[in-house]
């Protein structure tokens, strides 16, 4: 494995583990607590939440996607190309769930408190939580195999 491959793998591993940690925090703590926010100011609260969250997750998501595609397209010697492509597929699930489930539900919440949108946000976020958790396990396994 080249130094560039090692670097890409470590950056990818870091971004993936970061996103897995963030999504578990969001799933267990943050999203469930939305219902405790002030109803009168909820639209402003949601707008601030969305803006700040984007600053936290967008760089990691972009780095994870770029390094994941790079590693899958040019697998380091000794790695499992199928596992790397499976990781890309799981990343696609997470991104699609974000685009087609989470973002529209945040859009509904941006108009003001909506109990049904909140319930669906918490429930459908399990798709992203599962995808990033499986990715974390997969990337750890790939890294572990390459470190042997």
Exposed (0-12), middle (13-18) or buried (19+): which is 9, by Cβ within 10 Å? buried
pLDDT of 36 over the 90 cut: yes
Confidence of residue 1 (pLDDT cuts 50, 70, 90): confident
The whole-number average pLDDT for the span 78-94 is: 96
The residue count of the chain comes to: 148
Q: What is the CATH number of the domain that holds 43?
A: 1.20.1420
pLDDT digits 0-9 by tens, 54-65: 999 999 999 999
Q: What is the pLDDT of residue 55?
A: 97
- C-alpha 94/C-alpha 68 separation (Å) is 13
The whole-number average pLDDT for the span 80-84 is: 95
Confidence of residue 148 (pLDDT cuts 50, 70, 90): confident
Which residues form the domain of 29? 3-147
Count the domains in the chain.
1
What pTM, to 2 d.p., does this model score?
0.94
Q: What is the pLDDT of residue 61?
A: 98
Cβ proximity of 43 and 111 under 8 Å: yes
Q: What is the pLDDT of residue 147?
A: 87
SS3 content of the chain, % helix, strand, coil (to 5): 85, 0, 15
Confidence of residue 138 (pLDDT cuts 50, 70, 90): very high
Cβ proximity of 84 and 16 under 8 Å: no
Report helix, strand or coil for 28: helix
């Amino acid at each position: 494995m080249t130094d560039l491959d090692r670097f890409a793998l470590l950056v990818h591993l870091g971004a993936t583990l970061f996103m897995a940690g963030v999504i578990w925090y969001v799933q267990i703590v943050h999203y469930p607590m939305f219902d405790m926010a002030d109803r009168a100011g909820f639209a402003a609260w949601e707008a601030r939440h969305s803006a700040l969250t984007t600053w936290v997750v967008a760089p990691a998501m972009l780095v994870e996607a770029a390094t994941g595609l790079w590693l899958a397209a040019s697998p380091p010697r000794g790695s499992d190309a199928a596992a790397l492509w499976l990781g890309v597929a799981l990343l696609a699930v997470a991104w699609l769930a974000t685009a087609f489930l989470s973002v529209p539900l945040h859009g509904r919440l941006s108009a003001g408190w909506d109990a049904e949108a909140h319930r669906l946000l918490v429930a459908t976020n399990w798709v992203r939580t599962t995808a990033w958790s499986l990715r974390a396990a997969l990337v750890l396994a790939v890294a572990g195999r390459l470190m042997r």
